[in-house]
Amino acid sequence: MNDRNMQVTTLAGAPAPARGRGRPSAREDLPCPIRDVLDRIGDAWSVLVITTLEPGPGRFNQLRRQVDGISQRMLTVTLRHLERDGLVSRTVIPSTPPQVEYALTDTGRSLCLPLKVLADWAGSHQSVIRGARRQYDIGGN
């Protein structure tokens, strides 16, 4: 029940001084909006889940298959985070076997545009970036 909040507390409530790992801010209660978002979409899986959910709602194992490569644990964790931030809704359909549907909320859908802008940038610059990397790696040796 309240177990759900344990990871969450550690992640945002910051009861621990967190010496080993310190993100820029986001742990202080000072409202740094960009950090909030980056902490969410920065964790790699979130974006994939969101884009997977964009066409329409999906169930757990369905998502598990679609996202490809995600562990069941990370899918759970990611969905919890997204749910907590109000980006994804979780609907339990009591039946046998039980079904759970995940869907983007309005907020979640509104995030898709900024994400798309970023994806477009990524697409139109990937060759430049790959090239720069190769160049850099050559020079290093």
Encoded tokens for 61:
């194992």
Does 119 help bind DNA (rule: CB under 7 A)? no
Radius of gyration for the alpha carbons in the chain, expressed in angstroms and rounded:
18
CA–CA dist 46, 104 (Å, integer): 12
Helix axes 72-84, 45-53, angle to 10 degrees: 80
Does 16 help bind DNA (rule: CB under 7 A)? yes
Does 65 help bind a copy of itself (rule: CB under 8 A)? no
Chain residues in the site for a copy of itself (CB under 8 A): 1-2, 4-5, 8, 12-13, 22-25, 31, 33-39, 41-45, 47-48, 67, 69-70, 83-87, 107, 110-111, 113-114, 117-123, 125-126, 128-133, 135-137, 140-141
